[in-house]
Structures are given as structure tokens and as C-alpha cells.
């Protein structure tokens, strides 16, 4: 493995591990290329029903690899964003499967942005978020100006993006940036437990829920009510809804097929 990404598929759960611990899993061109390819491939695989994104070693991801930026053939920043970072964030939101970010240490710059672009975020007690962009004279990118205020509201978004102090795991949970904090040694097991729960859900309904939550940001209440009615009308006809009702009646766990 030379691209710095480890992909492991275990049943319906795929785990993507950013694996350059010597550089705190900082993002290089090969790693970003591999991550985008993996998201495309796993996103199209109906047997995969949930993804986990985490980092190897003691960090989640330190953002852009700054050593790589110093090389003469580094693409201009705008190109790097348009061609590599933005497609990754778009893919994370476009795929039907939910993504659990297991934040196992520092998440800085675009590394924090990747965590923000996941569906569910859980953190180890020693995790911390640093919007390191300002320190190097840049603006938050890879979706952070969009995701962050939606996750934590304008006051904390400004704290993180403008003041830039590290936010520890406990604070992250308090402000809604992560939904739970667990001891480091339990993080992957907890992420897997959540992913397995997501994977046991009715895939079409899970996908519709993921996309409806995103779409709601640009909808009125009326538009959301309409969209929900339309979706529910469609899902009400699905084999998985019938299976869910039958399983409830029979007092057993449902077995959803994504139809």
C-alpha cells in the first residue's frame, strides 16, 4: 500500500483508514485520489451499507500535507480544491450509505472538514479539532464554511474558524460537533457498533433519510413536508417496509434487502 489509504470490508461495513501516521495522516495527492476512488467504488456496491472513516495511529488527519505543497509540481490551490478535495466531499454526501467518522486524535484543516462531511461523528477522549487554515493564511475549505455553521451554529462556527483555538472532544460533544465521546481504546468498536446498526436499517430508507436531511437545509418547511410525503408514499410501497411491518408483527429482527 503506497497511497496511504487502507480499505477493509467486513460484511456490510467498509472501513476507510487514512494511513500515513508518520505525518498524522496528512492528505497527499495519492491519498486523496485513493479516497475518492474508494468512495466511488464502495458507494456503488449495494452489499456495503455503511462506511467508517478513521485515521491510523494517534491522529485522525492533519489536513493537507504541507510538505507536498512545497514541491514544485504542486497544483495551484484552487485547482487542488476543485479537482481533489471538492469531489471527495461531494462523494461523501452523494453516496447512499451513511458515513461514521471515528475521530481518533487531531483533526486539523481539511482533516476536520472531512470529519464535518460525515453523517455521524464520534470522538475519542483525546480527539481535538483545529481549523488550522487561518494559521497558514487560508480560509476554511473542503466544505467547512458550509458544514460547520450547520453543525454547531454561527457562534461556535466563528470561534472555530476565526479564533482557531483547538476544541477538545468534551467541548466538541457539548457544542454538537460530535455526538459521542468514548475512550480511545473503545472508539473503533463503538464506530463499528453504530455502522452495524446503520447497516441493519432499510437501505433505501437510510439513503433517503441521509439525502433528505441534506436537502432540508435549502428547503422551506412546506417544501420539506411535501418531500416527506412524496418519499413516504414511495417507501410505503417498498418490500422493506412490508418486511419491517412483518418483523414487528412476528416479534423478530427485520431482514432488509434494499427493495
Output 52 or 107, the one with its CB closest to ligand LHQ.
107
Least distance between ligand LHQ and beta carbon 128 (Å): 8
Closest among 51, 180, 79 to 127, alpha carbons compared:
180
CB of 45 to ligand LHQ, least distance (A): 29
Q: How far is CA 101 from CA 179, 180, 247, in A?
A: 11, 11, 30
Q: Which is nearer to ligand LHQ, 89 or 205 (CB)?
A: 89
CB of 34 to ligand LHQ, least distance (A): 17
Cell of 222: 412546506
Kindly tell me which of 125 and 238 has the beta carbon lying closer to ligand LHQ.
Answer: 125
CB of 134 to ligand LHQ, least distance (A): 9
- The Cα–Cα gap between 113 and 107 comes to 8
Q: Which residues pair with 75 in a beta bridge?
A: none
Nearer to ligand LHQ, 133 or 156 (CB): 133
Closest approach, Cβ 35 to ligand LHQ, in A, equals 14
Nearest to 103 by CA among 85, 117, 121: 121
Shortest Å distance, C-beta 131 to ligand LHQ = 9
**How far apart (Å, rounded) are the C-alpha atoms in residues 220 and 106?**
36
Nearest to 172 by CA among 161, 184, 183, 160: 160
Distance CA 47, CA 115 (A): 24
Contacts of 13 (CB under 8 A, 6+ apart): 48, 49, 50, 51, 52, 192, 195, 196, 199
- Contact set with ligand LHQ (CB under 6 A): 23-24, 26, 62-67, 69, 77, 80-81, 85, 106, 108-110, 130, 132-133, 136, 138, 141
Q: Around Cβ 24, how many Cβ atoms within 10 Å?
A: 22
Choice between 80 and 240, CB closer to ligand LHQ: 80
Residue 64 Cβ vs ligand LHQ, minimum distance, rounded to whole Å: 3
Q: With respect to ligand LHQ, which residue has the nearer C-beta, 29 or 212?
A: 29
Q: Which is nearer to ligand LHQ, 55 or 203 (CB)?
A: 55
Hey, is 57 helix, strand or coil? Answer: coil
Chain-centroid distance of CA 202 in Å reads 20
Amino acid at each position: 500500500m503506497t497511497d496511504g489509504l487502507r480499505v477493509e470490508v467486513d460484511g456490510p461495513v467498509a472501513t476507510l483508514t487514512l494511513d500515513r501516521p508518520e505525518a498524522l495522516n496528512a492528505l497527499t495527492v495519492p491519498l486523496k485520489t485513493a479516497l475518492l476512488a474508494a468512495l466511488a467504488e464502495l458507494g456503488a456496491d449495494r452489499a456495503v451499507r455503511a462506511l467508517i472513516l478513521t485515521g491510523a495511529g494517534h491522529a485522525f488527519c492533519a489536513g493537507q500535507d504541507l510538505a507536498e505543497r512545497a514541491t514544485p509540481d504542486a497544483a495551484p490551490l484552487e485547482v487542488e480544491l476543485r479537482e481533489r478535495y471538492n469531489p471527495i466531499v461531494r462523494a461523501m454526501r452523494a453516496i447512499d450509505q451513511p458515513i461514521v467518522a471515528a475521530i481518533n486524535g487531531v483533526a486539523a484543516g481539511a482533516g476536520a472538514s472531512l470529519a464535518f462531511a460525515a453523517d455521524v461523528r464520534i470522538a475519542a477522549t483525546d480527539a481535538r479539532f483545529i481549523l488550522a487554515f487561518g494559521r497558514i493564511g487560508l480560509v476554511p475549505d473542503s466544505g467547512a464554511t458550509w458544514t460547520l455553521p450547520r453543525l454547531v451554529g454561527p457562534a461556535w462556527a466563528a470561534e472555530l474558524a476565526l479564533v482557531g483555538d483547538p476544541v477538545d472532544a468534551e467541548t466538541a460533544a457539548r457544542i454538537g460537533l460530535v455526538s459521542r465521546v468514548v475512550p480511545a481504546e473503545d472508539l473503533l468498536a463503538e464506530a463499528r457498533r453504530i455502522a452495524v446498526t446503520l447497516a441493519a436499517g432499510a437501505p433505501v430508507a437510510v439513503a433517503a433519510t441521509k439525502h433528505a436531511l441534506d436537502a432540508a437545509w435549502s428547503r422551506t418547511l412546506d417544501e420539506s413536508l411535501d418531500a416527506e410525503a412524496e418519499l413516504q408514499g414511495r417507501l410505503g410501497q417498498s418490500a422493506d417496509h412490508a418486511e419491517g411491518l412483518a418483523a414487528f408483527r412476528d416479534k423478530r429482527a427485520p431482514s432488509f434487502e434494499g427493495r
